[in-house]
Amino acid sequence: MINLPDIQEALLTTAGVSNKAAGHIRPEDKIEAIKGLIENFLIPAGDKFVEELVYRFLLTKGDALGGTMRNIGGALAQSKLNRSIISSLTLRSIKYSWLHGPSNKWIETSGNEAEIERQMKGISWNIDRKTRTVIYNLSIPLVKNNVDFSLLNCLPANLSQAVKNPSFYILLGELKGGIDPAGADEHWKTANTALARIRAAFTKEDLMPYTFFLAAAIAKKMANEIWTQLDRGELSNAANLTNPNQLASLAQWLCNL
């Protein structure tokens, strides 16, 4: 097996070495990893070494696929929210600029862009003499963590300085695009912990920005918890990503802040 070049990449995967890690280790270390797989797992499996090989390959690939699908779900959630924000601004004839993800450049809208929500990593507009800028997946110094959605009171040109100043934050939100109901509660727990951390950090600065939760799968138990937080004022807004009316209402609300 070690002398078959066509299967070396697959053997590395089976040994638990990710594609990213494989690009940073020496050839001799790759061979040692494959030898470890053979000596510790395949030889002890005896005649069933093929089944063991396939099982371990799928185990590693399955975990990688799960991460990929979570990333896709998050990207779709972001795109749908972008589309709703654009629609809300367009209906009110409010001009905006958007952050082109691949080039990391802000572009003034011409009104003729197609499917820009897929590449949009931020959006900025002016309303009632107020400037609003949205950034996705922003690392917030005060929270010491990444936040899915951040709305700030600043121009895009001043963003790098504004992110360091807690008083510029207007709204922060968590997005969960996974549609599997079985994982909905876990997504809510993760998001709820992140939102609680955000509130705690800003409270220490005597600030209380708005917070929201947007998800594609909302189970009954978590829906009750979300409603309780909304009723108490802990959570400012929430919506089901698959409900067009709720999504439109959320977008209209945040565009008015």
pLDDT in tens, 130-172: 999 999 999 999 999 999 999 999 999 999 999 999 999 999 9
Same domain, 172 and 85: yes
Same domain, 136 and 234: yes
Residue 2 has pLDDT above 80, yes or no: no
Same domain, 45 and 130: no
Query: What value does the mean pLDDT take over residues 23-51?
Result: 81
Let me know: does 100 contact 120? Beta carbons within 8 Å. yes
pLDDT in tens, 70-121: 454 456 778 889 889 999 998 898 999 999 988 999 998 876 665 687 788 9
The residue segments making up the domain with residue 151 are 70-255
- Among residues 229, 213, 105, the alpha carbon closest in space to that of 149 is found at 213
What CATH number did the domain enclosing 184 receive?
Answer: 3.40.91.10
Same domain, 91 and 116: yes
Q: Which pLDDT score, from 0 to 100, does residue 183 have?
A: 66
Same domain, 123 and 60: no
What CATH number did the domain enclosing 23 receive?
Answer: 1.10.238.90
Residue type, 65: L
Same domain, 203 and 78: yes
How many domains is the chain partitioned into structurally?
Answer: 2
Same domain, 97 and 10: no
Same domain, 103 and 174: yes
- pTM (two decimals): 0.71
Same domain, 56 and 118: no
pLDDT band, very low/low/confident/very high, at 68 (cuts 50, 70, 90):
very low
Same domain, 77 and 160: yes
Query: What value does the mean pLDDT take over residues 196-200?
Result: 96
